[in-house]
Amino acid sequence: MTRTPPRLVATALGSIVAITALAGCTPAAEPPASIPTATAAPETDAASDLDGTLAALETEYDARLGLAAIDTRTGEVLEYRADERFAFASTYKALAAAAVLDRTTDTELDAVVPVEQSDLVTYSPITETRVGAGMTLRELADAAVRFSDNTAGNLLFDALGGPAGFDAALEEVGDDTTVASREETALNDWQPGSEDDTTTPLAVARALEAYAVGDALDDGDRQQLREWLVGNTTGDALIRAGAPEGWMVGDKTGSAAWGTRNDIAVVWPPDDEPYVLAVLSSRDDAGADAEYDDALIADAARVAIAELERVRGE
């Protein structure tokens, strides 16, 4: 297995756009009303310390770790194996839901989609109760993001024109890295070295930033996406566990073969602009049935957030 040297880089965002407060949530702190224009952030000499800490986590958990963390106020970007490929697993569901929001009117979003017995795949806790009755696209997106319902994920794919349509939607927000090839549950049968159904930490972080913080969605759709992310029921032990108490986190988790465990998130400090994190991991030498440890994702997020806060405070 080839591993490229991790690195910490700083880039400036091309533009920063207004961020609206989440409706229907009562977190400790609402997302800020606006984000000032970012300026170029200087290179930091903390790269070796951060890299060493994350490398130690890889050793501790016997896993390969990839991380991209974006400060949407300053433009600072932390990268560790950020251009290496990992299976995206169920993290795609947040981006597919965002793409559906972008491509539909409210009327279309609230139209009922049939749910048939033949549609059901493994792990479909919401859609399996709606066979014959159907669900609206809005309900399917909610089920996919908040409950990681696999059948709902496939029906979102269908609404976008399949994996190829999902790929095309990502390209519209600047992601020409992610490769979507299959639907659920085959997309989780990733093989190390394959590009099928993979992304990189930086690509998925940038796509999430575009949809959930940037202007890829209009205000109402962005607000809806954030509500789904903040309402996620599967992420308590991952990035949420690594965030300081009182911060608001909206995330989407994923897991796949070869010990793949991922989480992507928007993380709001109290009274400040958010960070966007993508923490992806796999155990490429441990076999297709290798287990994962959620604590790796939480520990990596904790390290990244601390470094982002340190740099932001300079």
Active site residues: 90, 184
Q: What is the DSSP string of 10-26?
A: E---S-----PPPSS--
H or E, element range at 194? none
Closest listed residue to residue 32, CA positions, set 289, 247, 234: 247
Tokens of 116: 């048939």
Q: Which of helix, strand or coil describes residue 312?
A: helix
Bridge pairing between strands 64-71 and 275-282: antiparallel
Please report how many Cα atoms fall inside a 13 Å half-sphere around the Cα of residue 90, on the Cβ side.
28
Q: Whats the size of the chain, residue-wise?
A: 314
Tokens of 134: 């159907």
Tokens 């999430």 locate to: 208
Tokens 């169920």 locate to: 90
Q: What is the DSSP string of 122-145?
A: SS-TTGGG-TTT-EEHHHHHHHHH
Instruction: Give Cβ neighbours of residue 300 (< 8 Å, ≥ 6 apart).
Output: 54, 57, 65, 67, 242, 279, 281
- 3-state helix vs strand vs coil in the chain, percent to 5: 40, 15, 45
Can you tell me the distance from the alpha carbon of 184 to that of 281, in angstroms, rounded to the nearest whole number?
20
Q: Can you give the C-alpha Rg of the chain in angstroms?
A: 18
